[in-house]
Amino acid sequence: MSKNDPTDNALAAIASILDQTISPPEPAKSVDREFAPVEEPPVAMPPSLPQSIAAEQVEPEHVEPEHREPEPSEPPPIQPIEANGYSKAGPGPMAALRFRWTVREDDGRYYVDETVGEGSTPLVNGPMDKDSAIKFVDDREAAARQRFEHFKHEMISRTEVASLAPRDSDEN
C-alpha cells in the first residue's frame, strides 16, 4: 500500500464524514401543513388466484412418511463467471466516494477499470487473462472492505473512549 493510494484517501474521507456527530432532530411542537409528515401509501397485495386455478389445486395423495423417496441433496452445478462486465463496488455511505471495479474484454485480453464515484476517469489495469481479472476485482474489493471496516471500528472506539473521558465543568 503506498502513501498516495486513492483507496486510502477516499476511505479516510468517508471516515471523517462518519466521525462527525449528528444529534437527532427534535420533534416538532406544532404541526405545519407544509412540513407535515407524508403518509405512506398502503402496501399492494398480489391478487388472489382465480377460482378456476384454485379449484385445480388438489391435495396430494396421502403417503406414509417411511415410504417416501429421499430427495436428492446435490447442489446445483456451479456456473462459470462471465468475466466481461464482471463488477463489484466498494463499501461506503456515499456513492461519490465509492470505488467500482469493472472487467472488460478487448481482443481476448481483459482489463479492469477502477473508478471512484460516478463519471470519473477510470484507472485501467491490465491486460490479463480472464481468471486474473476476476481475482483482481475480488481482491481489490475485499481489501477496500477490510480497510473500511478498520476505519469504522477505529472511529467507534474513539467515540467510546471520548464518551468515557471526564468532562471539564465550569464550576470552580
Distance CA 99, CA 93 (A): 11
32 has a pLDDT exceeding 70: no
Of 13, 17, 10, nearest in space to 116 by CA: 10
Side-chain-side CA neighbours of residue 105 (13 Å)? 11
Cell of 11: 476511505
Q: What is the pLDDT of residue 148?
A: 92
Q: What is the pLDDT of residue 48?
A: 57
Inter-residue contact 110 to 127 (CB < 8 Å): yes
Q: Is 24 helix (H, G, I), strand (E, B) or coil?
A: coil
Please check whether residue 150 lies inside any domain of the structure: yes
| 124 vs 37, higher pLDDT | 124
* Number of neighbouring beta carbons within 10 Å of residue 21: 7
Please check whether residue 43 lies inside any domain of the structure: no
Number of domains in the chain: 1
Return the percentage of the chain with pLDDT > 90, whole number: 33
Q: Print the domain residue range for 87.
A: 83-154
Inter-residue contact 104 to 84 (CB < 8 Å): yes
Please check whether residue 132 lies inside any domain of the structure: yes
Question: What element of type H or E holds 49?
Answer: none
| 7 vs 84, higher pLDDT | 84
**pTM for the predicted model, two decimal places:** 0.51
Please check whether residue 33 lies inside any domain of the structure: no
| 14 vs 37, higher pLDDT | 14
Please check whether residue 8 lies inside any domain of the structure: no
The phi, psi pair for 157, rounded to 5°, reads: -65, -35
Residue indicated by cell numbers 491490465: 126
Q: What is the pLDDT of residue 51?
A: 58
